[in-house]
């Protein structure tokens, strides 16, 4: 169970500068969010932790950055133009709009709607007497399929021939570059290719803050291997993804696997598993791992006419590689970490909000706080030195107690106080966010001390 309400957490995140309502100056834009200075730092650190785990420390995986707008033939080949739809229904009485599959599953959790046709969903809506959550009536329009890809135009004319799409997933940029990467790298299977970046979906029912939005970031890996090794790699990534999300701070009791039942699987998939997180609003999909067989490369080979087969140098067999795909949503992972970190602690005289981030994820690793404004120059020198290795912040305003509370509330693991003794003993006081204990550390030992305490150091120069 999550200790704190979603409202409480999101209010804190908005008021302290993690997230802002999108286009707020103009009255906002529904379900769009901007990331403030703290949110941007968290997101960057999250992506960096992902890179460290899945790319730098994995000898098989490389990263590429394909374009967001691709040749529309890509989306015809994958079936997105024809099939990337959501089943939309309107209540005939109050005109509220829903996704039919979500509506059915929310009122009948035993029914899984994945893979069901429009006819099957229409039948279920009637047979199960689905009611409108807003007005309680039970009369809906027939289901209409709603295209989720955002369309735009390329070039100066707005006509059919110039229609292009904003990519609804990062994965396809990887498939269309498979041949390029094989040609320009070591060219042997297994090989994983990662793409991290924006994806766009015109969701009918976005919501739950940054959980489901129309613009979000994905961190996807397509892991290409031989057909008889895909289930081995599928099991490997199931474990590896779980161990990654725990390593950056999600606790095991808030995580679970959800293996897709046979009837839920896409027709080409051998196995799919989601990792779910217990958000304050309930269990929700954090990420997914799918065995996609050779479906995508096959489709691109057929549609483009290019040979995407691989000649195994050992067996001399030629085949289209199979693929295992771990697919993360950056904001979903970020939201889980924000909810997991939020805490309120009763102290002797007051309550403090504290975000218990893993030091690698926290917006700032250290805050440098001069006890008095007269010590600002010395403290600034300390800050400048540390900012070469860490995201550091410098705060001179308010009492030292208030400044500690401010840093606790944004999750800064260590506060470094420069006081009048510093000028004599060349040492500072380091305060730990979680224990609130303080230690006196010599300035010439500070970098080593921080590296040990935080568990890392980034060198920016
Ligand atoms: N290439 C496979 C793919 O895109 P998906 O399950 O549709 O699979 C993968 O998306 C992940 O992307 C999800 O597990 C989720 O974390 C994230 N995601 C999908 N739609 C999202 C949305 N509308 N808002 C935020 N994150 C989303």
Query: Can you list the domains of the chain with their CATH numbers?
Result: 6-81+151-339 (3.30.930.10), 85-147 (3.30.40.230), 364-454 (3.40.50.800)
What is the distance between the alpha carbons of residues 198 and 170, in angstroms, rounded to a whole number? Answer: 7
Q: Is the CB of 212 under 6 A from ligand 1?
A: yes
Task: For residue 116, give the 3-state DSSP assignment.
Answer: coil
CA angle 174, 175, 177 (to 5 degrees): 65
Residue-averaged pLDDT of the chain: 95
Atom of ligand 1 nearest to the CA of 211: 25
**84: pLDDT strictly greater than 60:** yes
16 lines ligand 1 (CB under 6 A): no
Residue 24: the pLDDT is 96
Spatial distance between the Cα atoms of 282 and 136, rounded to a whole number of angstroms: 23
Whether 218 is in the pocket of ligand 1, judged by its Cβ within 6 Å, is yes
Nearest protein CA to atom 25 of ligand 1, as residue: 212
The answer to whether the CB of 215 is under 6 A from ligand 1 is no
222 lines ligand 1 (CB under 6 A): no
The reply to whether ligand 1 has any atom less than 6 angstroms from the CB of 287 is yes
Return the pLDDT at 1: 64
3-state helix, strand, coil split of the chain in percent (to 5) is 35, 30, 35
Residue nearest to atom 24 of ligand 1 (CA): 212
- Distance of CA 329 from the midpoint of ligand 1 (Å): 5
- Position 114 pLDDT exceeds 90: no
Q: Which atom of ligand 1 is nearest to the CA of 329?
A: 16
Q: How far is the CA of 213 from the centre of ligand 1 (A)?
A: 10
- Can you give the pLDDT at residue 461? 52
User: Which of 198, 200, 329 to mutate to test ligand 1, by most ligand atoms within 8 A of the CB atom?
Assistant: 329
pLDDT by residue (tens digit) across 131-185? 999 999 999 999 999 999 999 999 888 887 899 999 999 999 999 999 999 999 8
Average pLDDT over residues 33-46: 98
Would you say residue 460 has pLDDT above 80? Answer: no
Q: How far is the CA of 13 from the centre of ligand 1 (A)?
A: 22
Mapped onto helix, strand or coil, the DSSP state of residue 63 is strand
Q: Is 173 in the pocket of ligand 1 (CB under 6 A)?
A: no
């Amino acid at each position: 169970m999550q200790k704190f309400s979603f409202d409480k957490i999101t209010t804190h995140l908005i008021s302290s500068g993690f997230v802002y309502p999108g286009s707020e100056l103009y009255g906002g834009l529904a379900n769009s969010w901007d990331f403030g200075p703290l949110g941007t730092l968290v997101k960057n650190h999250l992506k960096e932790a992902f890179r460290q785990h899945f790319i730098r420390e994995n000898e098989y995986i490389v990263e590429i950055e394909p374009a967001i707008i691709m040749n529309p033939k890509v989306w015809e080949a994958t079936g997105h133009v024809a099939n990337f739809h959501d089943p939309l229904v309107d209540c005939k009485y109050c005109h509220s709009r829903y996704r039919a599959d979500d509506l059915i599953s929310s009122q009948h959790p035993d029914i899984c709607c994945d893979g069901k046709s429009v006819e099957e969903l229409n039948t279920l809506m009637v047979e199960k007497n689905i009611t409108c959550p807003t007005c309680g009536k039970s009369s809906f329009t027939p289901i209409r399929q709603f295209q989720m890809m955002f369309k735009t135009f390329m070039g100066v004319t707005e006509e059919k021939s110039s229609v292009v799409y904003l990519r609804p997933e990062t994965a396809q940029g990887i498939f269309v570059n498979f041949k390029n990467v094989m040609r320009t790298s070591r060219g042997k299977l297994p090989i994983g290719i990662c793409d991290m970046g924006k994806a766009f979906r015109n969701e009918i029912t976005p919501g739950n803050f940054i959980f489901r939005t129309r613009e979000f970031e994905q961190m996807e890996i397509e892991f290409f291997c031989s057909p008889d090794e895909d289930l081995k790699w599928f099991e490997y990534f199931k474990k590896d993804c779980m161990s990654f999300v725990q390593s950056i701070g999600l606790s095991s009791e808030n995580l679970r696997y959800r293996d897709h039942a046979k009837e839920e699987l896409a027709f080409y998939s051998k196995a799919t598993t989601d990792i779910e997180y217990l958000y304050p609003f309930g269990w929700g999909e954090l990420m997914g791992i799918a065995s996609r067989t050779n479906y995508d490369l096959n489709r691109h080979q057929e549609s483009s006419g290019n040979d995407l087969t691989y000649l195994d140098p050992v067996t001399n067999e030629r085949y289209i590689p199979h693929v295992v795909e771990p697919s993360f949503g950056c904001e979903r992972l970020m939201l889980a970490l924000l909810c997991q970190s939020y805490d309120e602690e009763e102290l002797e005289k007051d309550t403090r909000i504290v975000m218990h981030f893993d030091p690698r994820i926290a917006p700032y690793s250290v805050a440098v706080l001069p006890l008095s404004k007269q010590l600002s120059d010395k403290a600034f020198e300390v800050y400048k030195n540390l900012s070469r290795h860490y995201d550091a912040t410098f705060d001179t305003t308010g009492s030292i107690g208030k400044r500690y509370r401010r840093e606790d509330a944004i999750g800064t693991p260590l506060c470094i106080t420069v006081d009048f003794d510093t000028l004599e003993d060349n040492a500072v006081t380091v305060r730990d966010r979680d224990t609130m204990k303080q230690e006196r550390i010599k300035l010439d030992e500070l970098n080593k001390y921080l590296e040990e305490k935080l568990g890392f150091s980034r060198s920016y120069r």
